[in-house]
Chains A and B, each alone.
Chain A
């Protein structure tokens, strides 16, 4: 593979690739290649992120100053509870023989794992959906709704009404994060820290904090011993006192840094570091992956390209909306009531499109968007792609403010490339074309 070959794939000029590589080498080990967020794209994502990690390793940035520092997380003690029971079956039983290397439960394929099948001895029977609008979040909405119909029971816990709360058997309304206590936040950082999340106002109506919902459900099920406190403030205060603070102090200061106990931020020269791998060293070649039948080193895989007249669908977020869950909120609709489709000026010229015009989208599998979407002609998107914000195009009339506004990107995502190693849902392989006239197949 040469920079010239990469140029053909990326449109980044070979001398720019060389120049960048040399600058990074010169600056090593004070270089970071950050993996980014929302990184499941094409189904080969584990390998791609592994390639990023390998690149960091080659530059020596793990544990180097200016590279990846050795993070530390604060540890708070857990309350004493009776021992947790061992489940007879775990989520892995719903995916027999697959994803042995995945460490977290999957949402990808959860709908297929809910619809009974002769391939498996068991399926998911009930869902507790906490803070996610599954019908719009998972690709292939029809499949999601089909799965829901096979459930014995579905509970939705959320702060605002959305499709998922409409399909649930029971809705447990949670108050927003500004109205409740949550567990102490301790995410990894240079110095371990604790952060208090406390209410700023009283909850409205009958909405309750998540901890209260969990505790009340536990009490009703006779599992009250797993919540050895009446109010979560007792637990928080106890935990904070164990690390040298208190609820009172944290209510005043909010965030507190603690002392590092895991050693220095950076490796020292000549130090013998043991990594969390079978050999103890950084493994560029992975026997574990080879053992499961996957590529031990990342290999270039060609990703699907758009056919003539089609453009890659890129979806994303807008700062004023939280995915599809806030599309019905009056204040947020005032900021953004519909999404638009970003089209490069070169493409707009080809199609004779104007900013503000409405077009219907049709994807590579012939699916047409239920609602039209407004065009935004902008230089901010490449000429082979289009971009739209996720979470609009709601077709439930009960969502009175969100109904019919914008287009639903989930509708357009019919091709899912699942990562065989860990089950990540790659949705960037869908392509759309424009229909400037209202198509007959669309019901108004």
Chain B
């Protein structure tokens, strides 16, 4: 029998018996960040493709959610900090090797950009809207004239936002569950999928819902592919990664992962989408809600399970 134990009474709060220092704030932020990234990406994409008229919700109305989501996400992050008075230190340096630094700066850029994007549609949303200051009116006009350029910027940063949420986790080589290169693309695709689901749910246009539905179906397929790859990678990896994979293949997260994330969050909505394509009427709220729920639960599971996996002890 092999035994390994601390004999000097070590029992550090949140670190022993297993790491649990990141709680609900981080998965909530990852979810909102991914959602925002997805919405902004599609908004930018369809603007660049010149389809503002057909994809109104995508390009205009869904983007109103983004600044709210990002601010809520930032508040969640701020609440997670333990030395909150010093949070401003994040913005005194750019550390290229730290994904958390990327995230801080990306958010610093994309939050105002998304706010500007949405705000520039205020006049369309409320015809009597007046910015009351000439400089703001001029800026509004400038943005609307240069939508395509702003869209490119927004798409670029949306991809960074979406992918960095995964790279953030994969940069922690001490957590075998997270330390794989698929996590970045996986979180990006998942974020885009939740974004597409939101747009689908919000939209009143049948055409738009069909397009976003098809895109979401594609994204779900890619996501399933990436998840399979990730698990296969674990099973072919070192023993610590095998143990990480076993958390989902018989361990404590098996039921929540397969039921809530894979079946309810991915397979079932995909099936509903296929039925819709085949001509059946499916209430759009069902797949959309399930995709969002699945995305949220996926991040909760990944953050909690990842902290449990380790190299030593």
Interface residues of A (CB under 8 A from B): 320, 333-337, 345, 376-379
Partner of B8, one of A335, A345, A378: A335
Q: Contacts of A335 on B, CB cut-off 8 Å?
A: 8-9
Overall SS of chain B's interface: loop
Q: How far is the CA of A379 from the CA of B4 in the complex (A)?
A: 12
Note all chain A residues with C-beta closer than 8 A to B9.
Answer: 320, 333-337
Contact present for B3 and A320 (CB under 8 Å): no
Chain B residues near A334 (CB-CB < 8 A): 9
* CB-based contact A320/B1 at 8 Å: no
- B8: chain A residues within 8 A (beta carbon): 320, 335-336
18 interchain pairs, CB-CB under 8 A = A320-B8, A320-B9, A333-B9, A334-B9, A335-B8, A335-B9, A336-B7, A336-B8, A336-B9, A337-B9, A345-B1, A376-B5, A377-B1, A377-B3, A378-B1, A378-B3, A379-B1, A379-B3
In Å, the complex CA distance between A334 and B9 comes to: 6
Q: Report Cα–Cα, A376/B7, bound state, in Å.
A: 12
- A378 to B3 alpha-carbon distance, docked (Å): 7
Q: A334-B9, A378-B1 are in contact. List 5 more A-B contacts (CB 8 A).
A: A320-B9, A336-B7, A336-B9, A337-B9, A376-B5
Please report the C-alpha to C-alpha distance between residue A345 and residue B1 in the assembled complex, in whole angstroms: 8
Report the bound CA distance from A333 to B11 in whole Å: 12
B3 / chain A contacts, CB cutoff of 8 Å: 377-379
What mask results when residues 39 to 67 of chain B are scored 1 for a CB within 8 Å of chain A, else 0? 00000000000000000000000000000
Majority-rule SS of A interface residues? mixed
Nearest-Cβ distance from residue A343 to partner chain B, whole angstroms: 12
Return A342 CB to nearest CB of chain B, in Å: 11
Give the chain A neighbours of B1 by CB distance below 8 A: 345, 377-379
Of all chain A residues, which has the CB nearest B8? Answer: A335
Give the residues in chain B near A378, CB-CB below 8 Å: 1, 3
Residue numbers in B under 8 Å from A379 (CB-CB) = 1, 3
Shortest CB–CB separation between residue B6 and chain A, in angstroms? 10
Minimal beta-carbon separation of A319 from chain B (angstroms): 9
Nearest-neighbor residue (CB-CB) of A379 within chain B: B1
Query: How many angstroms between the C-alpha atoms of A212 and B1 in the bound complex?
Result: 54
Q: How far is the CB of B168 from chain A (nearest CB, A)?
A: 34
A377: chain B residues at CB < 8 Å are 1, 3
- CA–CA, A334 to B16, complex, Å? 14
Instruction: Kindly list chain B residues whose C-beta atoms are within 8 Å of the C-beta of A376.
Output: 5
Q: How far is the CA of A336 from the CA of B9 in the complex (A)?
A: 5
**Docked pose: A334 CA to B3 CA in angstroms:** 22
Q: Which residues of B contact A345 (CB under 8 A)?
A: 1
Q: 1/0 per residue B1-33: CB within 8 Å of A? A: 101010111000000000000000000000000
The chain A residue sitting closest to B2, CB to CB, is A379
Nearest B residue (CB) for A332:
B9
Report how far A333 CA is from B1 CA in the complex, Å: 29
A345 to B5, CA, bound (A): 16
In angstroms, how far is the closest chain B Cβ from the Cβ of A332? 9
Closest A residue to B5 by beta carbon equals A376
What is the CA–CA distance of A378 and B5 in the complex, to the nearest angstrom? 11
- Give bound CA distance, A227 to B8, whole Å: 44
Q: In the complex, which residue of chain B has the Cβ closest to the Cβ of A334?
A: B9
Give Cα A337–Cα B11 distance, bound, in whole angstroms.
11
Interfacial chain A residues near B7, Cβ < 8 Å: 336
- Report the minimal beta-carbon distance from B67 to chain A, rounded to whole angstroms: 48
A378 to B9, CA, bound (A): 17
Shortest distance between the CB of A386 and any CB in chain B (Å): 16
B273 nearest CB across to chain A (Å): 47
Contact with A along B85-98 (1 / 0, CB 8 A): 00000000000000
